Structure 1
């Protein structure tokens, strides 16, 4: 895959629509983590309103909104918190400008179809005070006028890089970091993350009012070693599935060697270092939210094989997880390898995941919630 920023921007959007493999129908994991973070987000909103003296208009931006119900679940929580905060202090509710941002190729249509439902759930006297708009573009660039945003939210977006890092020629058949890999591969990924996250903060610093807030949730890692096996199971199994297709003659090894994911899951220190060095925001809160690789329950009766693995449950859980991963990366994979191999690829992915189900089912996923205040 080309490492140019322009080529990535055209395929980095999640799988659109509302079909079986769409992001809209395979984002339960994100919903769960956002639910865990909602109290912290609400607290940020309340503090901001008081510090700003209950402004008459509040502009909220959700960056990397993708498509589906998750977008409006988060926005509803923010809007409801704003309204409740004003009512508790006997203040007239403000006008609320809700801006939904993602890349131009994002499936905004699926999201916009949910606007009537979003408005319907608001109280009658609030509906006419709440405005929703789409803002297509990369959040690694300027998106809004100077000092116009009061509250910025972004979840499950900032671990996606603006481009595939340069200098990955030695990564060979790995699609991401995998042990063993040359040290310069890790350094290239880390450098790209630092550049991108710093740029994101600099752009938002221009757009956010003083004392404005940002609430960010991103995939991270606890291990200081980026090659720890806990850090990249999703992508190492994708590599295995791709190499299966190479061994079957469906793909060329050179095609796999030229594909790398524009992704990086930082550790806590790496995130904090970029924020401190960029200098525009103060960390108000930093939390680690743990999930499970298989956040899936089944009512099946356990039928274990000779190794003690519940095979029906393993396959169902693996299939569900594979659909989740497919919803994230299918556009990228199809652009590089072609549409024809996608079904076969994720059959292989499901197989590898099911084989490792008993080992991985209690493995935690690591997510960071970061609350920032504009200085």
Structure 2
């Protein structure tokens, strides 16, 4: 039945794209289809859905890597020119699972290898740590074709840079490495996730995330939690970072207080779907009011303020860029060609990220219906124009005073 459901999705999508219908009519047609007609449940993912989701994730990560490549390559170049070691230790903090992790590995390893080859120096061995929370699917990571192929190269002596990949379960808000043992830290789209839901929100608005209408107190509570978490992250990484090491970080960003622009619109669309389900009696209002996302998108000024106050690290380079909500939409136009299809892409992309939080709070019985509603909300929002994420990419190094302590 799951296979049949996914085949319906393909057929249904082709009907929506091909027929001469208005966008509103296409959305109305999509509303008549259940989520299972174009998506498969997380408990019974079939090959069609896996391929589709992997394509979404890979395209999004590839786009991000292309936009952040200059800072990453500069950081790797400075690192390789500064230190001489027999084993280079690299860590991807918040690696997740699936194709995303290996887009990053291949990019970083290629940059390291290129630097050593161009300089004609003896290459080091590379120990690469994949870090995420213990619930991450590390097994799927180590069954990947990329690692299998790389191990074959090493065993046959084809690769001149032996690569040893290690799983490292644990929160990056805690210690992960011995003192001065890591040379390059990399983290992409993880640091806007907080260590916990901020305390003190219980009696405030029912929104799951701060929005334009949220009180100044709500914004203050979220900001203070972010400041505590990011400060701790910097303090711990500075202890673990080898002298001359580098850290490149990419996070969602926003332009001006007090709103997050499209970031708040994104979560509002999911919140609206939950609220509709509460109106219909599918979920309880008390449950909805108690659900808050442990998520904060900082201003760059807020990021810099935490770095300066913590004091052990300094920001060396900053690059700001935008990307479309739909990772499969690579056009630069201000409009969305197919809102229904893009809405489904966006819902499918974010579902693996937030589904564990939603399932833990509401149970798994609402998930398919929720993301069906969310996809339609996204499609309607795209009628107003093409929404974009704002992102911040920056390189962090040790402050000079700490290099001599």
| Displaced runs of 4 or more, over 6 A | 15-18
Go from structure 1 to structure 2 and tell me whether the alpha carbon gap of 1:250 and 1:279 turns closer, same or farther (over 3 Å shift): same
In the alignment, which residue of structure 1 is the partner of 2:206? Answer: 173
Which residues in structure 2 correspond to 1:57-136 (within 5 Å)?
57-114=87-144, 115-119=147-151, 124-126=157-159, 129-136=162-169
C-alpha distance in 1, partners of 2:330/2:262? Answer: 24
Do residues 322 (structure 1) and 353 (structure 2) align?
Answer: no
Match among 145, 153, 170 for residue 178 of structure 2: 145
C-alpha distance in 2, partners of 1:16/1:278? Answer: 43
Go from structure 1 to structure 2 and tell me whether the alpha carbon gap of 1:16 and 1:56 turns closer, same or farther (over 3 Å shift): farther
SS, match of residue 232 in structure 1: helix
What whole-Å deviation, never above 9, does each CA across 1:279-321 have from its counterpart, x for those lacking one?
A: 111211011021112343499xxxxxxxxx98x8211110111
Go from structure 1 to structure 2 and tell me whether the alpha carbon gap of 1:295 and 1:39 turns closer, same or farther (over 3 Å shift): same
Go from structure 1 to structure 2 and tell me whether the alpha carbon gap of 1:23 and 1:298 turns closer, same or farther (over 3 Å shift): closer
Do residues 164 (structure 1) and 197 (structure 2) align?
Answer: yes
Do residues 243 (structure 1) and 275 (structure 2) align?
Answer: yes
CA contact (8 A) 1:170 1:185 kept: no
In the alignment, which residue of structure 2 is the partner of 1:50? Answer: 81
Could you tell me how far 1:16 is from its partner in structure 2? 10
C-alpha distance in 1, partners of 2:290/2:226? Answer: 20
Could you tell me how far 1:127 is from its partner in structure 2? 6.2
CA contact (8 A) 1:164 1:260 kept: yes
Higher helix share: 2
C-alpha distance in 2, partners of 1:325/1:146? Answer: 36
Which residues in structure 2 correspond to 1:276-315 (within 5 Å)?
276-297=308-329, 313-315=338-340
C-alpha distance in 2, partners of 1:252/1:243? Answer: 10
In the alignment, which residue of structure 1 is the partner of 2:300? Answer: 268
CA contact (8 A) 2:184 2:246 kept: yes
In the alignment, which residue of structure 1 is the partner of 2:28? Answer: none
- Number of aligned residue pairs: give it: 348
Match among 4, 26, 30 for residue 61 of structure 2: 30
Which sits farther off after the overlay, 184-193 or 227-236? 227-236
C-alpha distance in 2, partners of 1:159/1:204? Answer: 17
CA contact (8 A) 2:56 2:328 kept: no
Could you tell me how far 1:210 is from its partner in structure 2? 1.5
C-alpha distance in 2, partners of 1:137/1:247? Answer: 39
Could you tell me how far 1:364 is from its partner in structure 2? 2.5
C-alpha distance in 1, partners of 2:266/2:150? Answer: 33
Go from structure 1 to structure 2 and tell me whether the alpha carbon gap of 1:121 and 1:269 turns closer, same or farther (over 3 Å shift): farther
In the alignment, which residue of structure 1 is the partner of 2:398? Answer: 374
C-alpha distance in 1, partners of 2:85/2:361? Answer: 48
Go from structure 1 to structure 2 and tell me whether the alpha carbon gap of 1:249 and 1:118 turns closer, same or farther (over 3 Å shift): farther
Which sits farther off after the overlay, 20-29 or 273-282? 20-29
Q: TM-score, normalised by structure 1?
A: 0.87
Go from structure 1 to structure 2 and tell me whether the alpha carbon gap of 1:360 and 1:168 turns closer, same or farther (over 3 Å shift): farther
Structure 1: which 5+ runs fail to align? 1-14, 300-308
Which sits farther off after the overlay, 181-190 or 77-86? 77-86
C-alpha distance in 2, partners of 1:104/1:134? Answer: 10
Q: Which has the larger radius of gyration?
A: 2
Could you tell me how far 1:124 is from its partner in structure 2? 4.1
